[in-house]
Amino acid sequence: MNAAKPEQIFEGNGVSPGISLGQALKLDSYNRVILKILLEDSLVEEEVKRVQRAIQASREQLERLKLRFEEKVGRERSFILDAHILMLEDRRWGSEIEALIRNTRANAEWAVRQTTEGMRRAYESLEDEYFRDRVIDIENVVERILANLAGDKPFSWAALPQDLVIVSHNFNPSTFAIMDLEKVRGLALESGGRTSHTAILARSLGLPAVMQIRDFLTSVTTGDTVLLDGDEGRLILNPTPERLDRARARLQKCRALHEPAPFQAGAAVTKDGVAVSLRANTELPHEVRLAQRCGAQGIGLFRSEFLFFADPHGFPTMPAQLETYQMLAREMKPHPVAVRTLDAGVDRVMASPSSATEPNPSMGLRGIRLSLAARELFRTQVEAILRASLEGKMEIVLPMISTVEEVWEARKLIEEVRREITRDSGRDMPCVPVGAMIEVPAAVLSLESVAREVDLLCIGTNDLVQYTLAVDRGNPQVAHLFQPLHPSILHCLQRIAEVGEALKKPVRICGEISANPFFAVLLLGMGFTELSMNPLSIPTIRKVVQEVTLAGSQQIFKKALGLPTASAIGDLVLDAVSKLVQTDLSPYVKEIRAQGGGPSDYRN
């Protein structure tokens, strides 16, 4: 303990609740300098074999780590490592690395880094925290390959003391499999967010965690005393005796590591017999297998723009898209796969002077507007989806619909492409269900006319909240006003549910609010029985659904509808849902409490 050092307080984002006291273990973050080295022609094929061996070794290491993790905390938590394993099994990525080595005669390290840069930048540019956090997965996998290329030896946990709080820039979730969980009391990281795989595992293991702590690593030395508060999102370095006395009761009450609750599989059916379809939101092809392992009943939303971002030309060919869509259809059979057509701005997929001058890209030429302006691009994507429907159930979802005319134009083009395929192939091409993303207030207000022209409705809650409340959630000055529980949002959702029921149109929630049990119960009370979310959240939401009744959920929603503010609705939901379920919901409380918070007490 370092009593002579002054107390320092650092603020961050509490991503896993609880409070813990321990000594800091500062882990080095690799900052490798990767240079491009030009190889002799005779060495190129050996370099290809070297990267193949490194990828294979990385996959085998993760497979072994997954088995060790299963032994420690159970199979239901080890599937998080599948995301890394599946990236390594992605032959398209491996082929890109090998092709880059051959075409440029470059070293393997440079090729590995180069092939992931475009995808990493695409994720970092997104507003949604869940997708920004996927950058960490990419970096973790790349770092493992680079470590194997360099012949690095793994870190040893054997001789470490008890009561450790890990402090680092980043933390690879696979490390949970090799570390002694009995010795670790918390995580304090510079990077990461609530939806990162490390955060999800920390919550599952009952391990307090604070992420996004800025400028603190230079102040911390291994062995320093650390008081970590995951509830408040705070790290106190070298706390005073007075502060420790005040925290004593909380420390005694909070167990830093508890026995995980048993995993429950099976259908998502409420206690009064209402079936709820839980589907997965995905954006990378390999995630389909993760969705399967989490029990998804289909892909509720495949964000196809990442196929475009990953393509060096920005426009993947029809065969390239078809290969991905066919794989999704086969893997998810008999469940459907909903492909959202390109939902990106012109600045993201067209390198032209005009594309860079849009003053407000989020309200510019993007989504369905871009597809209808670049019809050949749209036709190529539609053809690939239609052809893939011969392998399994496919759905086409049109993004950013604001007028019924957009639906008419899109459906006319889809039908033209279907007839062309039928004519050219000599076999009848079946019709594919077409849906509309409801994420613009204009679509909500004119919903009857839009709904009559489509087969299903998909609600993009993130954009719906942003556009309805006129809030840029990426702007810290107004981020506290991004309130999914705002009364106006509840009324929008209620209207969509009522119109869908009246017109007998399936309605699917595709925003990540579905992944929070408090929101999920409220959505069930509104009448939504199709929820799509990140795959890793499905097991928890399934368990919560099994513990509630539709009648109880409806009562909560009726009370919420009569309240005037997001904060009042949040208080009601916290209290009412907590009384309905036995699952520990403490990891999700902070997100609800943020409703209605001002700039001074809100942390994204």
Provide the annotated active-site residues. 197, 510
Q: Is 259 exposed, middle or buried (0-12, 13-18, 19+ CB in 10 A)?
A: exposed
300's enclosing H/E stretch is strand 299-303
Q: What is the CA radius of gyration of the chain?
A: 25
Estimate the crossing angle of helix 566-580 against helix 550-561, to 10 degrees: 160
Write down the residue that tokens 């670790």 correspond to.
184
β partners of residue 50: none
**C-alpha span between 172 and 192 (Å, rounded):** 10
Classify residue 367 as left (phi > 0), alpha (psi -120 to 50) or beta.
left
Sign of the CA dihedral with 82 first, then 84, 85, and 89 last: positive
Is the separation of the CB atoms in 495 and 545 below 8 Å?
A: no
Strands 209-211 and 13-16, sheet pairing: antiparallel
**C-alpha span between 473 and 238 (Å, rounded):** 34
Classify residue 263 as left (phi > 0), alpha (psi -120 to 50) or beta.
beta
Write down the residue that tokens 């409490």 correspond to.
593
Record the tokens describing residue 162, joined without a space.
């008890």
Q: What are phi and psi of 347, to 5 degrees?
A: -70, -20
Q: How many CA atoms are closer than 13 Å to the CA of 351, on its beta-carbon side?
A: 6
Cα three-residue angle 444-447-452, rounded to 5 degrees: 160
**C-alpha span between 177 and 200 (Å, rounded):** 15
Record the tokens describing residue 202, joined without a space.
């920390």
CA 347 → CA 159, 314, 321, 343, distances in Å? 52, 11, 21, 12
